[in-house]
Amino acid sequence: MQTTLQTLWQETRDSDSVRQRLFQVLRQSIIQMVLAPGQALSEKEIADTFSVSRQPVREAFIRLSEAGLVEVKPQRGTYVVKISQRAVLEARFVRESVEVAVVKLAAEKGIETAILTELHDLLARQRRCVEPHDHDRFYRLDEAFHRTLSLGVKQQTAWKVIEEVKAQLDRVRYLSVPHSTPLERLVDQHTNIVAAIEARNVEQAEQAMCLHLREILVSMPDLVRRFPAMFEGREAFDAQPPQP
């Protein structure tokens, strides 16, 4: 099923406020390329789409601007920002720092059997996405995998930090899954992370997580070449960290 603003709205919780639901829908639509980099956004059109007033739309635009996803140009309008390679690399650096610490903690101290069971279940469900090329479902299961790891070692704040910094990163991740990075490779990387945790091998767990989170460094140059209109800042790759 094709993702649209309306389908994303249906995935939000009715109990949330209109302004929160609008922010979630617009943020996710930018990440999933429903709203393309460089696209102009109209307060009136979005308000009409969801049958709401323009005020919560305006507030959502402000939050998206603070998150670095839209740019509000006085007298000119609001636009989805192009993907900043520098912002992606900085977000990846922060995410790697946090998630390597998470996986190190998991391997050092171990994690509960129930959490391991949940991780294995997520791996099985991810593998079932490979053959039908179900990228949307895999993306959600990937999110669940990393969230489960952080919460499984009682590091809720770590996951909040990751969520805050990864919006730009997520756009490349979402673009890379159907166009550059094979799903099977990502599932294998997740499997290696869990195996290292189960073996209580800290060094192996850290290396497996680093390799996984540096996958984007492999895929992004190809994506920049294939979709140049979506990106800015090609010089950022001069400062890539070495592969582990």
pLDDT bracket for residue 238 (50, 70, 90): very low
Mean confidence (pLDDT) of the chain: 90
Q: Which whole-number Å values give the CA distances from 153 to 116, 133, 156, in the listed order?
A: 11, 31, 8
pTM, to two decimals: 0.85
Tell me phi and psi for residue 231, to 5 degrees: -120, 160
Q: Tell me what pLDDT residue 169 has.
A: 87
- What percentage of the chain reaches a pLDDT higher than 70? 94
* Interacting residues of 124 by C-beta distance below 8 A, sequence separation 6+: none
Among 66-80, 206-220, 228-242, where is mean pLDDT lowest? 228-242
